[in-house]
Amino acid sequence: MATGLPTYKVILCGEYGVGKSSIFRRFMNNTYVVSNEKKTTIGLDQASRIVNVNGTDVKLLLWDTGGMERMSFIGSSYYRGAQAALLCYSVNNKETFNILSQYILDIVMNAEGAKIFLCGNVMDCGDDKEKVTEADVDRFTEECDNVLSGVYKVSCRDNIGINEMFKDITEKLHEMSVNKMTLRRDMVIRPGETPELTKDTSKKRCC
Ligand SMILES: Nc1nc2c(ncn2[C@@H]2O[C@H](COP(=O)(O)OP(=O)(O)OP(=O)(O)O)[C@@H](O)[C@H]2O)c(=O)[nH]1
Ligand SMILES: [Mg+2]
């Protein structure tokens, strides 16, 4: 098993029944479960998968919980340490879209610094059944004003866009992490180096 790889925790967020567990299963095992009875996720699930980003292996740790668990005790451990949140809605259910700003608030308050990505699932339902239009998504993206780091549409049933979405998310997370590390390295004051400010102060003290 690969260890020591850069690891990114991504949490799935969104209403009951939008397909979070289906996204989880499609990405982790390439499976899809058709179910007529509603089987909501109780508690939480997590699994990881290695994704190759421009020749470098990184680990994507995906967390899933039920939409109903939003306010439960699971809350803080679910959000803690997440680098990203995938905000899910169903394109044929406008209510699941209209409530997204509440989820954004939850994410911002509980997972500090996590990047937020938007995912419209069930795109296989056909254009005529899509209740969330491109214009709705554009308006929401504008209202969010740079809060969203990526916008995707997928179908778990037909396996459309899932791998591409996670590849893009992983690439963005890895790139941001590498940039942060470079910035930190540049800010290090090496032993023996005197910062300019100290030099000036010492000159003024001499009288
Ligand atoms: N047509 C279609 N149905 C889907 C798709 N993805 C999920 N579903 C169906 O939507 C239903 C709910 O999916 P889940 O993955 O259980 O939803 P969830 O967001 O995990 O729900 P909670 O755990 O209750 O929060 C299931 O019956 C799925 O088969 C899709 O891409 N297309
Ligand atoms: Mg679920």
Do 111 and 79 touch, CB atoms closer than 8 A?
yes
Per-residue pLDDT of the chain (207 residues; tens, 9 = 90+): 546 899 999 999 999 999 999 999 999 999 999 876 668 888 889 999 999 999 999 999 999 998 776 656 566 789 999 999 999 999 999 999 999 999 999 999 999 999 999 999 999 998 888 899 999 999 999 998 889 999 999 999 999 999 999 999 999 999 998 888 776 666 655 555 655 544 444 444 544
Two structure tokens written together for 29? 């095992």
Q: What is the pTM of this model?
A: 0.87
Two structure tokens written together for 98? 């209209």
Output the residue whose Cα is nearest ligand 1's atom 30: 122
- The pLDDT, as a whole number, for residue 39 is 81
Output the residue whose Cα is nearest ligand 1's atom 29: 34
Radius of gyration, CA atoms only, the chain: 21
C-alpha 14/C-alpha 44 separation (Å) is 14
- The pLDDT, as a whole number, for residue 207 is 44
For residue 69, which atom of ligand 1 is closest to its CA? 25
- Calculate how far, in angstroms, residue 65's C-alpha sits from the geometric centre of ligand 1: 13
Two structure tokens written together for 142? 């504008």
- The pLDDT, as a whole number, for residue 70 is 63
Ligand 1 pocket mutation, candidates 12, 21, 91, 160, criterion most atoms within 8 A of CB: 21
- The pLDDT, as a whole number, for residue 75 is 65
SS3 category, 78: helix
Q: Which domains does the chain have, with CATH numbers?
A: 7-203 (3.40.50.300)
C-alpha 84/C-alpha 79 separation (Å) is 9
The response to whether residue 100 sits with its C-beta less than 6 Å from ligand 1 reads no
